[in-house]
């Protein structure tokens, strides 16, 4: 079983963590790092994937980034648990479709821990509860190293989705764990179950690592900060 470094970044700006992913992908491709999983919450932001249609942005009041992941327009914000796996797919069969299905399976199994029955819908990447979307997935792969990832709506203020047509759909299609369960769900109570399922689905052992240790070990930044 291989190991994956788990770095919990708490709440950080999108641009900073987007740039961090680029550095980690380069280092992983050079075998200077094992696999890495970043988990984070972002302040309000809109991102546009490679298939994004500008007309799906209904309001430009939030920061907007055009990025290299697949998919259309999405929103990130407080109460949403975002994960960025930096994984080498070479020993995993170089199968991007299989990787996407594993991300969906991980989220479905984690939601089941909370009594939420979720599923995938053929032709619609992401995870759904009935006909409502509870988690979005958008990935990029460079030299068989993955980046970008998944966003699970835990206690997200769903009104912010009204600034876009998320993945081309009406914003009313989005839901959250809090909305579905009718009680407040915290990010902290979701992290543990989700990380255990990640280990199982990706056959790896997570090792919690601080960003300072990661930076010092691989000299990512002369200041000692990622």
Catalytic residues, which ones?
A: 167
Place of tokens 């709440």: 11
* Residue 149 CB partners (closer than 8 Å, separation 6+): 82, 83, 84, 85, 103, 137, 138, 139
Phi, psi of 15 (to 5 degrees): -60, -40
- The bridge status of strand 80-86 relative to strand 119-121 is unpaired
25, two tokens: 């992908």
The whole-angstrom separation of Cα 175 and Cα 172 is 8
């Amino acid at each position: 079983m291989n190991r994956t470094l788990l770095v919990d970044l708490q709440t950080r700006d999108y641009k900073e963590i987007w740039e961090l992913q680029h550095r980690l992908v380069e280092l992983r491709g050079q075998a200077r790092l094992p696999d890495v999983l970043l988990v984070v919450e972002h302040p309000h932001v809109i991102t546009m994937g490679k298939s994004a249609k500008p007309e799906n942005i209904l309001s430009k009041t939030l920061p907007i980034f055009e990025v290299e992941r697949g998919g259309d327009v999405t929103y990130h914000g407080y109460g949403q648990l975002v994960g960025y796996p930096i994984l080498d797919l070479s020993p995993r069969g170089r199968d991007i479709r299989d990787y996407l299905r594993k991300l969906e399976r991980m989220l479905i199994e984690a939601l089941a821990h909370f009594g939420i029955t979720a599923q995938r819908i053929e032709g619609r990447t992401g995870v759904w509860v009935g006909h409502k979307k509870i988690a979005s997935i958008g990935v990029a792969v460079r030299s068989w190293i993955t980046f970008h990832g998944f966003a699970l709506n835990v206690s997200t203020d769903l009104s912010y989705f009204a600034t876009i047509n998320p993945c081309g759909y009406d914003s009313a299609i989005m839901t959250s764990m809090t909305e579905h369960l009718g009680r407040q769900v915290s990010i902290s109570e979701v992290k543990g179950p989700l990380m255990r399922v990640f280990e199982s689905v990706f056959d790896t052992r997570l090792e919690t690592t601080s960003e300072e240790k990661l930076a010092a070990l691989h000299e990512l930044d002369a200041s000692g900060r990622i």
